[in-house]
Structure 1
Amino acid sequence: MKKKVGIIVKHIVLAFLAVVWLLPILWLVVTAFSGYKGINISHFFPETWSIDNFVQVLFKPDSVVQYVTWFKNTLVIAVFTCIISTIFVVMVSYAMSCMRFKGREGMMSFSLILNMFPGPLLMIAIYFILKSIGLTNSHLGMIIVYSAGSGLGFLIVKGFMDTIPESLREAAHIEGASEVTTLIKVVLPLCKPIIVYQIISSFLIPWGDFVFAKLMLNSGLSKDWTVAIGLYNMLDKSLINQYFAVFCAGGLLISIPISILFVLMQKCYVEGVTGGAVKG
Protein backbone atom coordinates (compact mmCIF):
# COMPACT_ATOMS: atom_id res chain seq x y z
CA MET A 1 0.00 0.00 0.00
CA LYS A 2 2.83 2.41 0.86
CA LYS A 3 4.46 1.74 -2.51
CA LYS A 4 1.18 2.34 -4.38
CA VAL A 5 0.61 5.64 -2.54
CA GLY A 6 4.13 6.75 -3.47
CA ILE A 7 3.52 5.96 -7.14
CA ILE A 8 0.20 7.82 -7.12
CA VAL A 9 1.78 10.89 -5.50
CA LYS A 10 4.60 10.88 -8.07
CA HIS A 11 2.14 10.71 -10.95
CA ILE A 12 0.06 13.54 -9.50
CA VAL A 13 3.15 15.73 -9.15
CA LEU A 14 4.26 14.90 -12.70
CA ALA A 15 0.78 15.61 -14.07
CA PHE A 16 0.74 18.98 -12.28
CA LEU A 17 4.16 19.90 -13.66
CA ALA A 18 3.05 18.85 -17.15
CA VAL A 19 0.00 21.12 -16.93
CA VAL A 20 2.13 24.04 -15.69
CA TRP A 21 4.57 23.48 -18.56
CA LEU A 22 1.96 23.00 -21.30
CA LEU A 23 -0.49 25.73 -20.30
CA PRO A 24 1.54 28.72 -21.61
CA ILE A 25 2.25 26.84 -24.85
CA LEU A 26 -1.45 26.07 -25.30
CA TRP A 27 -2.32 29.72 -24.64
CA LEU A 28 0.23 30.84 -27.23
CA VAL A 29 -1.26 28.45 -29.82
CA VAL A 30 -4.90 29.44 -29.27
CA THR A 31 -4.00 33.15 -29.18
CA ALA A 32 -2.18 32.79 -32.50
CA PHE A 33 -5.48 31.63 -34.05
CA SER A 34 -7.48 34.37 -32.34
CA GLY A 35 -9.45 36.95 -34.27
CA TYR A 36 -8.47 39.52 -31.62
CA LYS A 37 -5.10 41.25 -32.14
CA GLY A 38 -4.34 42.26 -28.56
CA ILE A 39 -4.15 40.38 -25.25
CA ASN A 40 -7.51 38.87 -24.37
CA ILE A 41 -7.39 38.03 -20.67
CA SER A 42 -11.15 37.69 -20.26
CA HIS A 43 -11.23 34.33 -22.10
CA PHE A 44 -8.60 31.61 -22.32
CA PHE A 45 -9.95 30.40 -25.65
CA PRO A 46 -10.73 33.10 -28.23
CA GLU A 47 -14.31 33.98 -29.01
CA THR A 48 -13.51 34.20 -32.73
CA TRP A 49 -10.98 32.11 -34.66
CA SER A 50 -8.91 33.31 -37.60
CA ILE A 51 -5.67 32.69 -39.51
CA ASP A 52 -5.21 36.40 -40.24
CA ASN A 53 -2.26 36.58 -37.83
CA PHE A 54 -0.33 33.97 -39.83
CA VAL A 55 -1.27 35.71 -43.08
CA GLN A 56 0.06 39.01 -41.74
CA VAL A 57 3.26 37.41 -40.52
CA LEU A 58 4.04 35.66 -43.79
CA PHE A 59 2.46 37.76 -46.52
CA LYS A 60 1.66 41.26 -45.23
CA PRO A 61 4.83 42.91 -43.88
CA ASP A 62 4.59 46.44 -42.52
CA SER A 63 6.80 48.83 -40.57
CA VAL A 64 6.56 46.60 -37.49
CA VAL A 65 6.28 43.07 -38.89
CA GLN A 66 8.97 41.93 -41.34
CA TYR A 67 8.95 38.31 -40.31
CA VAL A 68 10.19 36.72 -43.56
CA THR A 69 13.23 39.03 -43.59
CA TRP A 70 13.97 38.25 -39.95
CA PHE A 71 13.60 34.54 -40.62
CA LYS A 72 16.10 34.71 -43.50
CA ASN A 73 18.60 36.62 -41.33
CA THR A 74 18.27 34.12 -38.50
CA LEU A 75 18.55 31.16 -40.85
CA VAL A 76 21.72 32.48 -42.51
CA ILE A 77 23.39 33.16 -39.16
CA ALA A 78 22.33 29.79 -37.73
CA VAL A 79 23.38 27.73 -40.77
CA PHE A 80 26.85 29.26 -41.09
CA THR A 81 27.39 29.11 -37.34
CA CYS A 82 26.31 25.48 -37.34
CA ILE A 83 28.72 24.52 -40.13
CA ILE A 84 31.73 26.37 -38.72
CA SER A 85 31.11 25.34 -35.11
CA THR A 86 30.66 21.67 -36.00
CA ILE A 87 33.93 21.66 -37.97
CA PHE A 88 35.79 23.34 -35.07
CA VAL A 89 34.38 20.96 -32.45
CA VAL A 90 35.11 17.85 -34.52
CA MET A 91 38.69 18.95 -35.19
CA VAL A 92 39.41 19.77 -31.54
CA SER A 93 37.71 16.58 -30.33
CA TYR A 94 39.73 14.40 -32.70
CA ALA A 95 42.98 16.06 -31.64
CA MET A 96 42.21 15.64 -27.94
CA SER A 97 40.86 12.09 -28.23
CA CYS A 98 42.92 10.39 -30.92
CA MET A 99 46.25 12.22 -30.99
CA ARG A 100 49.00 12.37 -28.41
CA PHE A 101 51.25 15.40 -28.16
CA LYS A 102 53.11 17.41 -25.55
CA GLY A 103 50.89 19.67 -23.47
CA ARG A 104 47.69 17.84 -24.43
CA GLU A 105 46.46 17.34 -20.86
CA GLY A 106 47.24 20.93 -19.92
CA MET A 107 45.42 22.26 -22.97
CA MET A 108 42.36 20.16 -22.14
CA SER A 109 42.26 21.41 -18.57
CA PHE A 110 42.78 25.01 -19.64
CA SER A 111 40.05 24.70 -22.30
CA LEU A 112 37.57 23.32 -19.77
CA ILE A 113 38.33 26.19 -17.37
CA LEU A 114 37.80 28.75 -20.13
CA ASN A 115 34.56 27.05 -21.14
CA MET A 116 33.18 27.52 -17.62
CA PHE A 117 33.72 31.29 -17.71
CA PRO A 118 30.31 33.05 -17.87
CA GLY A 119 29.62 34.18 -21.42
CA PRO A 120 27.51 37.25 -20.52
CA LEU A 121 30.51 38.80 -18.76
CA LEU A 122 32.36 38.83 -22.09
CA MET A 123 29.62 40.49 -24.11
CA ILE A 124 30.60 44.12 -23.48
CA ALA A 125 34.26 43.43 -24.28
CA ILE A 126 33.30 41.51 -27.42
CA TYR A 127 30.99 44.31 -28.47
CA PHE A 128 33.68 47.00 -28.23
CA ILE A 129 36.22 44.79 -30.03
CA LEU A 130 33.81 44.24 -32.92
CA LYS A 131 32.87 47.93 -32.90
CA SER A 132 36.52 48.92 -33.29
CA ILE A 133 36.81 46.80 -36.45
CA GLY A 134 33.40 47.76 -37.83
CA LEU A 135 31.59 44.46 -37.36
CA THR A 136 28.74 45.58 -35.12
CA ASN A 137 25.29 45.57 -36.76
CA SER A 138 26.72 42.87 -39.00
CA HIS A 139 25.61 39.30 -39.48
CA LEU A 140 29.22 38.38 -40.23
CA GLY A 141 30.29 39.65 -36.82
CA MET A 142 27.62 37.55 -35.13
CA ILE A 143 28.69 34.43 -37.03
CA ILE A 144 32.31 35.02 -36.02
CA VAL A 145 31.45 35.43 -32.34
CA TYR A 146 29.07 32.46 -32.22
CA SER A 147 31.65 30.23 -33.93
CA ALA A 148 34.92 31.50 -32.47
CA GLY A 149 34.83 29.75 -29.11
CA SER A 150 32.81 26.72 -30.18
CA GLY A 151 35.86 24.45 -30.17
CA LEU A 152 35.97 24.70 -26.38
CA GLY A 153 32.78 22.65 -26.22
CA PHE A 154 34.57 19.51 -27.35
CA LEU A 155 34.03 17.38 -24.24
CA ILE A 156 30.93 15.41 -25.29
CA VAL A 157 32.17 14.75 -28.83
CA LYS A 158 35.56 13.72 -27.44
CA GLY A 159 33.83 11.32 -25.04
CA PHE A 160 32.12 9.65 -27.98
CA MET A 161 35.37 9.41 -29.96
CA ASP A 162 37.03 7.79 -26.95
CA THR A 163 34.72 4.79 -27.42
CA ILE A 164 36.01 4.11 -30.95
CA PRO A 165 38.61 1.28 -30.89
CA GLU A 166 42.13 2.55 -31.37
CA SER A 167 42.88 -0.48 -33.57
CA LEU A 168 40.75 0.99 -36.37
CA ARG A 169 42.88 4.13 -36.51
CA GLU A 170 46.08 2.10 -36.28
CA ALA A 171 44.97 -0.04 -39.21
CA ALA A 172 44.32 3.08 -41.26
CA HIS A 173 47.76 4.45 -40.40
CA ILE A 174 49.39 1.15 -41.40
CA GLU A 175 47.69 1.47 -44.78
CA GLY A 176 49.28 4.89 -45.16
CA ALA A 177 46.32 7.10 -44.24
CA SER A 178 47.07 10.55 -42.91
CA GLU A 179 45.35 12.01 -39.86
CA VAL A 180 42.90 13.91 -42.09
CA THR A 181 42.04 10.75 -44.04
CA THR A 182 41.64 8.78 -40.83
CA LEU A 183 39.31 11.42 -39.43
CA ILE A 184 37.15 11.66 -42.56
CA LYS A 185 37.00 8.00 -43.63
CA VAL A 186 37.31 6.10 -40.35
CA VAL A 187 36.26 8.22 -37.36
CA LEU A 188 33.48 10.41 -38.76
CA PRO A 189 31.38 7.56 -40.22
CA LEU A 190 31.32 6.01 -36.74
CA CYS A 191 30.38 9.33 -35.12
CA LYS A 192 27.06 9.95 -36.86
CA PRO A 193 24.99 10.20 -33.63
CA ILE A 194 27.32 12.68 -31.96
CA ILE A 195 27.68 14.72 -35.16
CA VAL A 196 23.89 15.03 -35.32
CA TYR A 197 23.88 16.12 -31.67
CA GLN A 198 26.57 18.72 -32.35
CA ILE A 199 24.79 20.05 -35.46
CA ILE A 200 21.52 20.54 -33.59
CA SER A 201 23.24 22.13 -30.59
CA SER A 202 25.24 24.51 -32.79
CA PHE A 203 22.13 25.45 -34.74
CA LEU A 204 20.03 26.16 -31.65
CA ILE A 205 22.41 28.70 -30.12
CA PRO A 206 21.98 31.48 -32.73
CA TRP A 207 18.45 30.33 -33.63
CA GLY A 208 17.01 31.27 -30.26
CA ASP A 209 19.52 33.79 -28.93
CA PHE A 210 18.18 37.21 -27.98
CA VAL A 211 20.59 38.89 -25.55
CA PHE A 212 23.72 38.92 -27.71
CA ALA A 213 21.75 39.56 -30.91
CA LYS A 214 20.05 42.56 -29.28
CA LEU A 215 23.42 43.91 -28.16
CA MET A 216 25.01 43.52 -31.58
CA LEU A 217 22.16 44.56 -33.90
CA ASN A 218 21.32 47.88 -32.28
CA SER A 219 21.19 50.19 -35.30
CA GLY A 220 17.39 50.34 -35.21
CA LEU A 221 17.08 49.02 -38.77
CA SER A 222 14.48 46.26 -38.55
CA LYS A 223 15.67 44.68 -41.82
CA ASP A 224 18.85 43.56 -40.00
CA TRP A 225 17.10 41.98 -37.00
CA THR A 226 16.75 38.32 -36.17
CA VAL A 227 13.40 36.75 -35.35
CA ALA A 228 14.00 37.00 -31.60
CA ILE A 229 14.58 40.77 -31.77
CA GLY A 230 11.65 41.33 -34.09
CA LEU A 231 9.23 39.37 -31.93
CA TYR A 232 10.45 41.15 -28.81
CA ASN A 233 9.82 44.51 -30.47
CA MET A 234 6.13 43.58 -30.86
CA LEU A 235 5.84 43.43 -27.06
CA ASP A 236 6.53 47.15 -26.72
CA LYS A 237 3.76 48.77 -24.66
CA SER A 238 2.76 50.94 -27.61
CA LEU A 239 2.42 47.94 -29.94
CA ILE A 240 1.32 45.02 -27.79
CA ASN A 241 -2.41 45.71 -28.10
CA GLN A 242 -2.16 45.60 -31.90
CA TYR A 243 0.44 42.87 -32.37
CA PHE A 244 0.32 40.40 -29.49
CA ALA A 245 -1.60 37.75 -31.46
CA VAL A 246 0.81 38.30 -34.36
CA PHE A 247 3.67 37.79 -31.90
CA CYS A 248 2.14 34.46 -30.87
CA ALA A 249 1.79 33.40 -34.51
CA GLY A 250 5.43 34.29 -35.18
CA GLY A 251 6.58 32.42 -32.09
CA LEU A 252 4.64 29.36 -33.20
CA LEU A 253 6.10 29.45 -36.70
CA ILE A 254 9.70 29.81 -35.52
CA SER A 255 9.34 26.66 -33.41
CA ILE A 256 8.12 24.47 -36.28
CA PRO A 257 11.43 23.95 -38.20
CA ILE A 258 13.43 23.03 -35.11
CA SER A 259 10.65 20.75 -33.86
CA ILE A 260 10.64 18.88 -37.18
CA LEU A 261 14.43 18.62 -37.02
CA PHE A 262 14.24 17.14 -33.51
CA VAL A 263 11.60 14.59 -34.52
CA LEU A 264 13.53 13.44 -37.59
CA MET A 265 16.85 13.15 -35.77
CA GLN A 266 15.66 12.21 -32.30
CA LYS A 267 17.21 8.74 -32.32
CA CYS A 268 20.64 9.97 -33.38
CA TYR A 269 20.40 12.91 -30.98
CA VAL A 270 19.70 10.69 -27.95
CA GLU A 271 22.44 8.22 -28.95
CA GLY A 272 24.86 11.12 -29.27
CA VAL A 273 24.10 12.52 -25.83
CA THR A 274 24.31 9.14 -24.06
CA GLY A 275 27.30 7.95 -26.06
CA GLY A 276 29.25 11.12 -25.47
CA ALA A 277 28.70 10.81 -21.72
CA VAL A 278 30.40 7.41 -21.48
CA LYS A 279 33.90 8.80 -21.13
CA GLY A 280 35.37 12.21 -20.40
Structure 2
Amino acid sequence: MKRKTRSMKTKQFIANSIVHVFLSVLGFVWVLPVFFVILTSFREEGGAYKSYIIPRGYTLNNYKKLFEQTSSLNYSRWFINTLFVAICTCLLSAFFVLSIAYVMSRLRFKLRKRLLNVAMILGMFPGFMSMIAVYYILKGFGFLEAGPLKLVALIMVYSGGAGLVFYVAKGFFDTIPKTIDEAAFIDGATKWDVFLKITIPLSKPIIVITLLQSFMGPWVDYIFAKVILGQDRKYYTIAIGLWSMLEKEFIEYYYTQFFAGCVLISIPIAIIFLVTQRFYVEGVSGAVKG
Protein backbone atom coordinates (compact mmCIF):
# COMPACT_ATOMS: atom_id res chain seq x y z
CA MET A 1 0.00 0.00 0.00
CA LYS A 2 2.84 2.38 0.87
CA ARG A 3 4.52 1.69 -2.50
CA LYS A 4 1.25 2.37 -4.35
CA THR A 5 0.74 5.60 -2.41
CA ARG A 6 4.30 6.73 -3.20
CA SER A 7 3.95 5.85 -6.86
CA MET A 8 0.66 7.75 -7.05
CA LYS A 9 2.24 10.80 -5.42
CA THR A 10 5.20 10.58 -7.78
CA LYS A 11 2.95 10.38 -10.85
CA GLN A 12 0.86 13.28 -9.57
CA PHE A 13 4.00 15.33 -8.91
CA ILE A 14 5.32 14.65 -12.42
CA ALA A 15 1.96 15.50 -13.99
CA ASN A 16 1.67 18.74 -12.00
CA SER A 17 5.24 19.68 -12.88
CA ILE A 18 4.59 19.19 -16.60
CA VAL A 19 1.41 21.28 -16.41
CA HIS A 20 3.18 24.07 -14.52
CA VAL A 21 6.09 24.11 -16.97
CA PHE A 22 3.69 24.24 -19.92
CA LEU A 23 1.67 27.07 -18.34
CA SER A 24 4.88 28.94 -17.52
CA VAL A 25 5.98 28.75 -21.17
CA LEU A 26 2.56 29.98 -22.33
CA GLY A 27 2.69 32.79 -19.75
CA PHE A 28 6.14 33.86 -20.96
CA VAL A 29 4.96 33.86 -24.60
CA TRP A 30 1.96 35.99 -23.59
CA VAL A 31 3.94 38.46 -21.48
CA LEU A 32 6.85 38.90 -23.93
CA PRO A 33 5.00 41.20 -26.41
CA VAL A 34 3.64 43.28 -23.52
CA PHE A 35 7.15 43.55 -22.11
CA PHE A 36 8.45 44.63 -25.54
CA VAL A 37 5.75 47.33 -25.90
CA ILE A 38 6.50 48.81 -22.47
CA LEU A 39 10.28 48.81 -23.01
CA THR A 40 9.99 50.38 -26.47
CA SER A 41 7.72 53.13 -25.11
CA PHE A 42 10.61 54.24 -22.88
CA ARG A 43 13.34 53.74 -25.52
CA GLU A 44 15.55 56.76 -26.04
CA GLU A 45 16.86 55.74 -29.46
CA GLY A 46 14.60 56.82 -32.28
CA GLY A 47 13.75 54.97 -35.45
CA ALA A 48 11.75 51.86 -36.11
CA TYR A 49 13.76 48.65 -36.41
CA LYS A 50 16.53 47.82 -33.95
CA SER A 51 18.56 44.63 -33.76
CA TYR A 52 18.13 44.50 -29.99
CA ILE A 53 15.14 44.36 -27.63
CA ILE A 54 16.50 45.92 -24.45
CA PRO A 55 16.85 49.70 -25.00
CA ARG A 56 20.29 51.25 -24.49
CA GLY A 57 18.73 54.39 -23.02
CA TYR A 58 15.43 55.32 -21.38
CA THR A 59 13.40 58.53 -21.52
CA LEU A 60 9.92 59.94 -20.81
CA ASN A 61 9.99 62.21 -23.86
CA ASN A 62 8.01 59.68 -25.88
CA TYR A 63 5.05 60.23 -23.57
CA LYS A 64 5.51 64.01 -23.48
CA LYS A 65 5.66 64.32 -27.28
CA LEU A 66 2.33 62.51 -27.59
CA PHE A 67 0.56 65.59 -26.27
CA GLU A 68 2.42 68.07 -28.48
CA GLN A 69 -0.21 68.96 -31.05
CA THR A 70 1.02 68.95 -34.66
CA SER A 71 -0.60 68.67 -38.07
CA SER A 72 -0.22 64.88 -38.01
CA LEU A 73 -0.46 64.19 -34.26
CA ASN A 74 -3.31 65.18 -31.94
CA TYR A 75 -3.33 62.40 -29.36
CA SER A 76 -5.31 64.25 -26.69
CA ARG A 77 -8.09 65.05 -29.18
CA TRP A 78 -8.15 61.45 -30.40
CA PHE A 79 -8.40 60.25 -26.81
CA ILE A 80 -11.35 62.59 -26.10
CA ASN A 81 -13.12 61.48 -29.30
CA THR A 82 -12.71 57.83 -28.39
CA LEU A 83 -13.84 58.39 -24.81
CA PHE A 84 -16.95 60.28 -25.99
CA VAL A 85 -17.89 57.60 -28.51
CA ALA A 86 -17.18 54.77 -26.06
CA ILE A 87 -19.26 56.26 -23.21
CA CYS A 88 -22.26 57.08 -25.43
CA THR A 89 -22.10 53.66 -27.09
CA CYS A 90 -21.71 51.99 -23.71
CA LEU A 91 -24.89 53.55 -22.30
CA LEU A 92 -27.04 53.08 -25.42
CA SER A 93 -25.86 49.54 -26.10
CA ALA A 94 -26.39 48.47 -22.49
CA PHE A 95 -29.96 49.80 -22.58
CA PHE A 96 -30.71 48.01 -25.86
CA VAL A 97 -29.15 44.71 -24.77
CA LEU A 98 -30.77 44.61 -21.32
CA SER A 99 -34.19 45.61 -22.65
CA ILE A 100 -34.20 42.99 -25.41
CA ALA A 101 -32.81 40.34 -23.08
CA TYR A 102 -35.56 41.03 -20.53
CA VAL A 103 -38.28 40.87 -23.20
CA MET A 104 -36.96 37.59 -24.58
CA SER A 105 -36.53 36.10 -21.11
CA ARG A 106 -39.78 37.16 -19.45
CA LEU A 107 -42.41 37.87 -22.11
CA ARG A 108 -44.15 35.31 -24.28
CA PHE A 109 -45.46 36.38 -27.70
CA LYS A 110 -45.85 35.10 -31.25
CA LEU A 111 -42.69 34.59 -33.30
CA ARG A 112 -40.56 34.75 -30.13
CA LYS A 113 -38.66 31.54 -30.90
CA ARG A 114 -38.19 32.55 -34.52
CA LEU A 115 -36.77 35.90 -33.47
CA LEU A 116 -34.35 34.11 -31.14
CA ASN A 117 -33.22 31.86 -33.99
CA VAL A 118 -32.85 34.78 -36.41
CA ALA A 119 -30.82 36.76 -33.85
CA MET A 120 -28.56 33.77 -33.23
CA ILE A 121 -27.96 33.27 -36.97
CA LEU A 122 -27.28 36.97 -37.62
CA GLY A 123 -24.88 37.02 -34.67
CA MET A 124 -22.74 34.41 -36.41
CA PHE A 125 -21.86 36.81 -39.23
CA PRO A 126 -19.09 39.37 -38.63
CA GLY A 127 -20.28 42.96 -38.49
CA PHE A 128 -17.91 44.24 -41.17
CA MET A 129 -19.88 42.29 -43.81
CA SER A 130 -22.45 45.10 -43.69
CA MET A 131 -19.79 47.82 -43.69
CA ILE A 132 -20.29 49.06 -47.26
CA ALA A 133 -24.08 49.07 -46.96
CA VAL A 134 -23.92 50.96 -43.65
CA TYR A 135 -21.51 53.48 -45.17
CA TYR A 136 -23.81 54.35 -48.08
CA ILE A 137 -26.88 54.49 -45.83
CA LEU A 138 -25.14 56.97 -43.53
CA LYS A 139 -23.88 58.94 -46.54
CA GLY A 140 -27.40 59.08 -47.98
CA PHE A 141 -28.75 60.56 -44.74
CA GLY A 142 -25.95 63.15 -44.63
CA PHE A 143 -24.14 61.87 -41.55
CA LEU A 144 -20.76 61.87 -43.30
CA GLU A 145 -20.79 65.53 -44.28
CA ALA A 146 -19.24 66.97 -41.09
CA GLY A 147 -16.84 65.71 -38.41
CA PRO A 148 -19.22 65.89 -35.41
CA LEU A 149 -21.92 64.08 -37.38
CA LYS A 150 -19.39 61.36 -38.22
CA LEU A 151 -18.89 60.71 -34.50
CA VAL A 152 -22.67 60.54 -34.06
CA ALA A 153 -22.84 58.10 -36.97
CA LEU A 154 -20.14 56.00 -35.36
CA ILE A 155 -22.15 55.84 -32.11
CA MET A 156 -25.25 54.81 -34.09
CA VAL A 157 -23.35 52.03 -35.85
CA TYR A 158 -21.90 50.61 -32.63
CA SER A 159 -25.17 50.88 -30.71
CA GLY A 160 -27.49 49.73 -33.50
CA GLY A 161 -26.10 46.22 -33.74
CA ALA A 162 -25.72 45.72 -30.00
CA GLY A 163 -29.28 44.46 -29.58
CA LEU A 164 -28.42 41.18 -31.31
CA VAL A 165 -25.86 40.31 -28.63
CA PHE A 166 -28.40 39.65 -25.89
CA TYR A 167 -28.05 35.90 -25.33
CA VAL A 168 -25.66 36.20 -22.37
CA ALA A 169 -27.91 38.73 -20.62
CA LYS A 170 -30.97 36.62 -21.38
CA GLY A 171 -29.30 33.60 -19.81
CA PHE A 172 -28.65 35.60 -16.65
CA PHE A 173 -32.24 36.90 -16.50
CA ASP A 174 -33.48 33.32 -16.81
CA THR A 175 -31.80 32.53 -13.48
CA ILE A 176 -33.91 35.13 -11.64
CA PRO A 177 -37.07 33.41 -10.25
CA LYS A 178 -40.24 34.46 -12.06
CA THR A 179 -42.15 34.27 -8.77
CA ILE A 180 -40.59 37.64 -7.87
CA ASP A 181 -42.18 39.19 -10.96
CA GLU A 182 -45.53 37.57 -10.23
CA ALA A 183 -45.51 38.90 -6.65
CA ALA A 184 -44.77 42.40 -7.96
CA PHE A 185 -47.61 42.16 -10.51
CA ILE A 186 -50.02 41.20 -7.71
CA ASP A 187 -48.96 44.34 -5.83
CA GLY A 188 -49.84 46.45 -8.88
CA ALA A 189 -46.43 46.86 -10.51
CA THR A 190 -46.18 47.22 -14.28
CA LYS A 191 -43.69 45.38 -16.50
CA TRP A 192 -41.57 48.53 -16.64
CA ASP A 193 -41.59 48.75 -12.82
CA VAL A 194 -40.50 45.12 -12.54
CA PHE A 195 -37.73 45.62 -15.06
CA LEU A 196 -36.43 48.88 -13.58
CA LYS A 197 -36.92 48.31 -9.83
CA ILE A 198 -36.54 44.55 -9.43
CA THR A 199 -34.71 42.90 -12.33
CA ILE A 200 -32.05 45.57 -12.84
CA PRO A 201 -31.01 45.79 -9.14
CA LEU A 202 -30.71 41.98 -9.06
CA SER A 203 -28.57 41.93 -12.23
CA LYS A 204 -25.49 43.95 -11.34
CA PRO A 205 -23.01 41.33 -12.67
CA ILE A 206 -24.58 41.13 -16.14
CA ILE A 207 -25.00 44.91 -16.27
CA VAL A 208 -21.30 45.34 -15.56
CA ILE A 209 -20.26 42.81 -18.20
CA THR A 210 -22.59 44.42 -20.75
CA LEU A 211 -21.23 47.89 -20.02
CA LEU A 212 -17.66 46.62 -20.19
CA GLN A 213 -18.09 44.87 -23.53
CA SER A 214 -19.96 47.85 -24.98
CA PHE A 215 -17.17 50.17 -23.85
CA MET A 216 -14.32 48.06 -25.21
CA GLY A 217 -15.77 47.71 -28.73
CA PRO A 218 -15.41 51.39 -29.74
CA TRP A 219 -12.18 51.69 -27.75
CA VAL A 220 -10.30 49.19 -29.92
CA ASP A 221 -12.23 49.16 -33.21
CA TYR A 222 -10.40 50.25 -36.34
CA ILE A 223 -12.31 49.00 -39.40
CA PHE A 224 -15.70 50.69 -38.95
CA ALA A 225 -14.15 53.84 -37.49
CA LYS A 226 -11.77 54.19 -40.44
CA VAL A 227 -14.54 53.74 -43.00
CA ILE A 228 -16.87 56.27 -41.38
CA LEU A 229 -14.35 58.91 -40.26
CA GLY A 230 -12.32 58.83 -43.47
CA GLN A 231 -9.32 61.18 -43.64
CA ASP A 232 -10.48 63.78 -41.12
CA ARG A 233 -7.60 63.56 -38.61
CA LYS A 234 -9.25 65.95 -36.16
CA TYR A 235 -12.01 63.43 -35.47
CA TYR A 236 -9.91 60.26 -35.46
CA THR A 237 -10.33 57.76 -32.68
CA ILE A 238 -7.35 56.32 -30.83
CA ALA A 239 -7.11 53.19 -32.99
CA ILE A 240 -6.99 55.15 -36.25
CA GLY A 241 -4.69 57.81 -34.82
CA LEU A 242 -2.16 55.28 -33.58
CA TRP A 243 -2.21 53.40 -36.86
CA SER A 244 -1.64 56.64 -38.79
CA MET A 245 1.58 57.11 -36.79
CA LEU A 246 2.94 53.99 -38.52
CA GLU A 247 2.53 55.36 -42.03
CA LYS A 248 5.68 55.46 -44.16
CA GLU A 249 6.30 59.18 -43.75
CA PHE A 250 5.84 59.10 -39.97
CA ILE A 251 7.06 55.72 -38.74
CA GLU A 252 10.71 56.68 -38.24
CA TYR A 253 9.77 59.68 -36.12
CA TYR A 254 6.67 58.39 -34.28
CA TYR A 255 7.60 54.74 -33.77
CA THR A 256 8.50 54.93 -30.06
CA GLN A 257 5.65 57.39 -29.45
CA PHE A 258 3.28 54.87 -30.98
CA PHE A 259 4.21 52.35 -28.27
CA ALA A 260 3.83 55.04 -25.60
CA GLY A 261 0.33 55.71 -26.89
CA CYS A 262 -0.47 51.98 -26.77
CA VAL A 263 0.59 51.84 -23.12
CA LEU A 264 -1.57 54.86 -22.22
CA ILE A 265 -4.75 53.55 -23.82
CA SER A 266 -4.30 50.15 -22.16
CA ILE A 267 -4.26 51.67 -18.67
CA PRO A 268 -8.00 52.59 -18.49
CA ILE A 269 -9.03 49.14 -19.76
CA ALA A 270 -6.73 47.40 -17.27
CA ILE A 271 -8.12 49.45 -14.37
CA ILE A 272 -11.72 48.76 -15.41
CA PHE A 273 -11.02 45.03 -15.66
CA LEU A 274 -9.39 44.91 -12.23
CA VAL A 275 -12.25 46.82 -10.61
CA THR A 276 -15.05 44.84 -12.30
CA GLN A 277 -13.40 41.39 -12.38
CA ARG A 278 -15.69 39.94 -9.70
CA PHE A 279 -18.85 41.09 -11.48
CA TYR A 280 -17.47 39.87 -14.82
CA VAL A 281 -17.00 36.30 -13.52
CA GLU A 282 -20.41 36.30 -11.81
CA GLY A 283 -22.11 37.54 -14.96
CA VAL A 284 -20.60 34.85 -17.18
CA SER A 285 -21.23 32.04 -14.67
CA GLY A 286 -24.83 33.16 -14.17
CA ALA A 287 -25.44 33.21 -17.91
CA VAL A 288 -24.02 29.70 -18.28
CA LYS A 289 -26.32 28.39 -15.56
CA GLY A 290 -29.26 29.96 -17.31
Counterpart CA distance in 1 for 2:82 and 2:46 is 25
Structure with larger Rg = 2
Deviation at 1:100, TM superposition (A): 1.4
How many percent identity over aligned positions? 42
Specify which of 201, 208, 215 is matched with residue 220 of structure 2. 208
Q: How does 1:109-128 map to 2 (within 5 A)?
A: 109-128=117-136
1:6-65 per-position Cα deviation (integer Å, ceiling 9, x unaligned) = 32222222111111111111111011111123235233121111100111113x121222
Q: How does 1:18-37 map to 2 (within 5 A)?
A: 18-37=27-46
1:50-88 per-position Cα deviation (integer Å, ceiling 9, x unaligned) = 100111113x12122210000010011111100000000
Q: How does 1:1-280 map to 2 (within 5 A)?
A: 1-39=10-48, 41-58=50-67, 60-136=68-144, 138-218=150-230, 220-279=231-290
| Contact residue 77 and residue 206 of structure 1 kept, 8 A | yes
Quickly say closer, same or farther: Cα 1:184–1:27, change in 2 above 3 A: same
1:208-243 per-position Cα deviation (integer Å, ceiling 9, x unaligned) = 00111111111x221110010010011112211111
Provide the aligned length of Structure 1 versus Structure 2: 277
Q: Which residue of 1 aligns with 2:5?
A: none
Code of the aligned partner of 1:196: V
Code of the aligned partner of 1:98: R
Superposition RMSD in Å: 1.3
Deviation at 1:113, TM superposition (A): 1.3
| Contact residue 29 and residue 249 of structure 1 kept, 8 A | yes
Counterpart CA distance in 2 for 1:24 and 1:117 is 30
1:80-119 per-position Cα deviation (integer Å, ceiling 9, x unaligned) = 1000000001110110111112221121111111211222
Code of the aligned partner of 1:132: G
Query: Which stretch shows the higher mean deviation, 75-84 or 119-128?
Result: 119-128
Q: Which residue of 1 aligns with 2:7?
A: none
The gaps in structure 2 that reach 5 residues or longer are: 1-9
SS class of match (1:171): helix
Relative to the length of structure 2, the TM-score reads 0.92
Code of the aligned partner of 1:175: D
Name segments (4+ residues, structure 1) moved above 4 Å.
none
1:127-159 per-position Cα deviation (integer Å, ceiling 9, x unaligned) = 111111122360011111111121111100010
Counterpart CA distance in 1 for 2:15 and 2:135 is 53
Counterpart CA distance in 2 for 1:40 and 1:107 is 52
Query: Which stretch shows the higher mean deviation, 108-117 or 31-40?
Result: 31-40
